[in-house]
Amino acid sequence: MADVVKISKFMSLVLRHKPEEIGLALDENGWADVDELIRLMNLKGTSLTRPVLEQVVAGNDKKRFAFSEDGLRIRASQGHSVDVDLALPPSTPPELLYHGTATRFLDSIRAEGLKSGKRQHVHLSLDIPTATKVGQRHGKPVILVIRSGEMSAAGHLFYLSANNVWLAEGVPLSFIDFPAG
């Protein structure tokens, strides 16, 4: 039985951050050849077949990966630290989005707003439960309310990833509501 979680984590590393870890080439839009990914992951010691890869993609609760329409290529849906253009069209966001973070980052956010850091975009959630899960990964969670409708009206661009994560290049302080206290 394949360790789907382990494979998924390794694929996240390779498709989002370090394709060179296995010698994989991503195109300008972050796509990799499926057969090449399977071959290189096997050479690196991670047993992977097409059926297992399909199980990893279909079973990922966050829908981190997507196949191309013809099924010949694969990419991470968002979260890249390598330079790729996901070729997502700008989209009009809902009035409010949410950003889950840890309390230890609040001073920095209060000083500079939300920055993408090592990633290409700031990730925003449609709902508080999802943002809470994100924040919990980094420490004691805190949820920031993003006035995305106002931000969009002011000319800032938003993109919707294939797995329904809203992306922005950054969020200026003036569009962030912090929790009371």
pLDDT in tens, 65-74: 989 889 999 9
**Residues 124, 127: Cα–Cα separation, whole Å:** 9
C-alpha atoms less than 13 angstroms from C-alpha of 162 in its C-beta half-sphere: 19
4-76 is classed CATH 3.90.1330.10: no
Contact 22, 30 (CB under 8 A): no
- Average pLDDT of the chain, as a whole number: 89
76 residue type, one letter: A
C-alpha atoms less than 13 angstroms from C-alpha of 129 in its C-beta half-sphere: 0
CB neighbour list of residue 20: distance below 8 Å, 6 or more residues apart:
none
pLDDT at 1: 57
pLDDT in tens, 91-137: 999 999 999 999 999 999 999 999 987 777 898 999 999 999 989 98
**Residues 137, 77: Cα–Cα separation, whole Å:** 19
29 residue type, one letter: N
- The strand pairing partners of 156, in sequence order, are none
Burial of 88 (0-12, 13-18, 19+ CB in 10 A): middle
One DSSP character per residue, 98-118 reads EEEEEGGGHHHHHHH-EE-TT
CATH code, 97-177: 3.20.170.30
User: Do 4-76 and 97-177 fold alike per CATH?
Assistant: no
**Residues 15, 44: Cα–Cα separation, whole Å:** 15
Contact 147, 178 (CB under 8 A): no
What global pTM score does this model have? Answer: 0.67
Give CA separation, 79 vs 30, 163, 177, in Å. 11, 11, 24
**Residues 30, 15: Cα–Cα separation, whole Å:** 7
Other beta carbons within 10 Å of 44:
14
pLDDT at 181: 65
pLDDT at 161: 84
Q: What are the residue boundaries of the structural domains of the chain, listed by start?
A: 4-76, 97-177
pLDDT in tens, 133-156: 989 988 999 999 999 999 999 999
